[in-house]
């Protein structure tokens, strides 16, 4: 091949090779540009996927709690305001409140929680603790909350409401005791003795327009102070039921005489009837607790407060004192997310500000140490009067047998007040019924 031809072929090959190189580079660049252009879309898609995951992760947790406070005092708007701070601070936790009356709060919780359901928290009387703990329907709380949380609460209150040395309920209000309340327009000064009260009540009774004494004649809680005043107790030091006693006979005779001998009470009255009669100015005396104060203030009744007066053949009556406690559902142990939400809720409820707001509604005493330093606790005249009654009060036992005792007394005292059971025969009947009901609780 001639040199000329070789030079031509070399030139052609060089051109072809150059074109190929250019095209190859252009193709790679186009591919790279395409990848670069698609990158933001891919990142956006990935971001969207992450957002979807986040949305699933922050799904709201619902906490359900039950309470038994008087709806005439703790109205719907009050609860909304009291809970508003928590809901604002915890937008991913929703709160649902269920109101029960004081009889149903225990039964509903016990039945529902035993079935693996029920609210997450209940605001209950402290004597529920023993019943629930024994039945396995209360979560042990010693290690549920931090020690920092417990250090904010009054240690004496915490210790007083333990069951078998363990914490099953957080006391948040103290002072659940009945006392003497009198209408100052009818009675300028409180009587010093029960005989004085009865004499004044007889003088002021003009049934059915006005009564000397009104009280809840259905629930035995309102008369138990007389048993203590006569030196009696419902349980002995070994925890055995002791209703068949001389002290119980005297207590039963006293309330029987209020109605049938002295004729100073209505024929019958539950809390609503008794409270309304007093609020309407149709009664001189009532035996009730601090939960009534707000209603009396709203009704503009001028009233005085005093300890229930000394019994003629006994001592100062010794009504039961108690606390309101927060008890938690054992099911929380299996639900970490809800358990954490409940911790936040209970800690919020027991902060100084929230405890004070609640205590002030019923002139009771908070357990938060900071709240206890508030002038309200030290200076409020109603709290001072309640504190005076509490000097004579005794803590209500929180053992399961109390449920049997209350139910026995409620049903059988009703027979006494209906004139179907003689006071002197009643204690033996009380004892038998309470023992029978205690066996049904699995107790002897």
Read out DSSP for 380-405?
Answer: -HHHHHHHHHHTT-EEPP-STHHHHH
Domain assignment present for residue 7? The answer is no
Q: What torsion, rounded to 10 degrees, do the Cα atoms 194, 199, 203, 208 define?
A: 50
Q: Are 244 and 293 found together in one domain?
A: yes
Query: Which of the four pLDDT bands, split at 50, 70 and 90, describes residue 35?
Result: very low
What integer is the mean pLDDT of 401-424?
96
pLDDT of residue 57: 59
Q: Are 155 and 189 found together in one domain?
A: no
Checking if the pLDDT of 11 tops 60, the result is: no
How is residue 247 written in tokens? 């002290």
Checking if the pLDDT of 286 tops 80, the result is: yes
Q: Are 384 and 416 found together in one domain?
A: no
CA-to-CA distance for 16 and 6, rounded, in angstroms? Answer: 15
Checking if the pLDDT of 93 tops 90, the result is: yes
- Cα 269 → chain centroid: 26
- Number of domains the chain contains: 2
pLDDT of residue 185: 97
Q: Are 361 and 239 found together in one domain?
A: no
Q: Minimum mean pLDDT among 55-64, 181-190, 226-235: which range?
A: 55-64
Q: Are 338 and 412 found together in one domain?
A: no
* CA contacts within 13 A on the Cβ side of 430: 28
CA angle 255, 260, 265 (to 5 degrees): 65
What integer is the mean pLDDT of 25-45?
47
Checking if the pLDDT of 227 tops 80, the result is: yes
Percent of all residues in the chain with a pLDDT value above 70, rounded to a whole number:
86
CATH value at residue 144: 3.40.190.10
Checking if the pLDDT of 32 tops 50, the result is: no
Checking if the pLDDT of 17 tops 80, the result is: no
Q: What is the mean pLDDT of the chain?
A: 89
CA-to-CA distance for 409 and 430, rounded, in angstroms? Answer: 6
Tens-digit pLDDT profile for residues 357-400: 999 999 999 999 999 999 999 899 999 999 999 999 999 998 99
Q: Minimum mean pLDDT among 34-43, 107-116, 258-267: which range?
A: 34-43
SS3 of 183, please? strand
Q: Are 312 and 426 found together in one domain?
A: yes
Q: Are 155 and 76 found together in one domain?
A: yes
CA-to-CA distance for 212 and 209, rounded, in angstroms? Answer: 11
Other beta carbons less than 10 A from residue 416's beta carbon? 22
Q: Are 425 and 311 found together in one domain?
A: yes
Checking if the pLDDT of 167 tops 70, the result is: yes
Considering the entire predicted model, what is its pTM? 0.80
- By the 8 A CB rule, do 204 and 212 touch? yes
Tens-digit pLDDT profile for residues 135-164: 999 999 999 999 999 999 999 999 999 999
* Segment (H or E) for 179: strand 179-183
Checking if the pLDDT of 240 tops 80, the result is: yes
Q: Are 304 and 229 found together in one domain?
A: yes
Q: Are 279 and 425 found together in one domain?
A: yes
Domain assignment present for residue 5? The answer is no
pLDDT of residue 49: 54
- By the 8 A CB rule, do 238 and 186 touch? no
Query: Which of the four pLDDT bands, split at 50, 70 and 90, describes residue 59?
Result: confident
What integer is the mean pLDDT of 190-219?
98
pLDDT of residue 442: 53
Cα–Cα distances (Å) from 46 to 41, 50, 54, 356, 408, in that order, read 9, 6, 12, 50, 67
Contacts of 183 (CB under 8 A, 6+ apart): 278, 281, 283, 284, 285, 301, 302, 303
* Segment (H or E) for 7: helix 3-57
Checking if the pLDDT of 403 tops 50, the result is: yes
- Residue, of 131 and 13, whose pLDDT is higher: 131
**398: closest CA among 289, 325, 309, 305?**
325
Beta strand extents in 49-139 (DSSP E only): 61-67, 93-99, 121-125
Tens-digit pLDDT profile for residues 335-366: 999 999 999 999 999 999 999 999 999 999 99
Domain assignment present for residue 166? The answer is yes
Other beta carbons less than 10 A from residue 173's beta carbon? 23
- By the 8 A CB rule, do 171 and 155 touch? no
Contacts of 267 (CB under 8 A, 6+ apart): 259
Q: Are 340 and 271 found together in one domain?
A: no
SS3 of 283, please? strand
Domain assignment present for residue 31? The answer is no
Domain that holds residue 312: 179-318+400-440
Q: Are 368 and 420 found together in one domain?
A: no
CA-to-CA distance for 15 and 13, rounded, in angstroms? Answer: 5
Query: Which of the four pLDDT bands, split at 50, 70 and 90, describes residue 176?
Result: confident
pLDDT of residue 260: 98
Domain assignment present for residue 8? The answer is no
């Amino acid at each position: 091949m001639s040199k000329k031809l070789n030079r031509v072929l070399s030139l052609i090959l060089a051109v072809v090779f150059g074109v190929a190189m250019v095209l190859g580079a252009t193709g790679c660049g186009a591919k790279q540009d395409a990848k670069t252009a698609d990158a933001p879309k891919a990142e956006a898609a990935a971001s969207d996927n992450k957002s979807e995951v986040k949305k699933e992760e922050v799904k709201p947790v619902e906490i359900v709690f039950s309470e038994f406070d008087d709806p005439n005092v703790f109205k719907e708007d009050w609860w909304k305001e009291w809970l508003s701070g928590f809901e604002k601070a915890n937008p991913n936790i929703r709160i649902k409140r269920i109101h029960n009356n004081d009889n149903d709060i225990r039964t509903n919780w016990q039945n529902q929680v035993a079935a693996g359901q029920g609210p997450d928290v209940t605001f209950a009387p402290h004597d529920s603790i023993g019943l629930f703990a024994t039945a396995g329907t209360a979560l042990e709380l010693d290690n549920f909350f931090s020690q920092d949380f417990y250090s904010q609460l009054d240690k004496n209150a915490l210790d007083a409401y333990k069951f078998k040395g363990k914490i099953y309920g957080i006391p948040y209000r103290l002072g659940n005791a009945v006392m003497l309340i009198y209408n100052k327009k009818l009675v300028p000064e409180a009587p010093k003795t029960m005989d004085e009260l009865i004499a004044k009540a007889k003088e002021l009774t003009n049934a059915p327009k006005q009564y000397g004494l009104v009280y809840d004649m259905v629930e035995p809680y309102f008369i138990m102070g007389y048993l203590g005043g006569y030196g009696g107790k419902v349980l002995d030091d070994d925890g055995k039921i002791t209703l068949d006693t001389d002290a119980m006979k005297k207590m039963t005779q006293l309330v029987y005489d209020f109605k049938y001998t002295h004729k100073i009470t209505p024929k019958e009255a539950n809390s609503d009837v008794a409270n309304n009669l007093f609020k309407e100015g149709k009664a001189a005396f009532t035996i009730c607790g601090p939960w009534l104060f707000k209603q009396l203030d709203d009704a503009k009744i001028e009233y005085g407060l005093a300890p229930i007066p000394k019994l003629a053949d006994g001592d100062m009556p010794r009504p039961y004192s108690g606390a309101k406690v927060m008890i938690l559902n054992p099911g929380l142990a299996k639900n970490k997310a809800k358990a954490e939400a409940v911790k936040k809720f209970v800690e919020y409820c027991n902060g100084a500000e929230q405890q004070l707001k609640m205590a002030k509604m019923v002139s009771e005493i908070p357990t938060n140490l900071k709240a206890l330093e508030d002038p309200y606790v030290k200076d409020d005249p109603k709290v001072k009067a309640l504190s005076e009654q509490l000097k004579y009060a005794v803590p209500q036992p929180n053992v399961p047998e109390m449920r049997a005792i209350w139910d026995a007394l409620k049903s059988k005292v009703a027979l006494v007040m209906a004139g179907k059971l003689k006071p002197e025969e009643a204690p033996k009947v009380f004892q038998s019924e309470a023992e029978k009901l205690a066996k049904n609780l699995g107790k002897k």
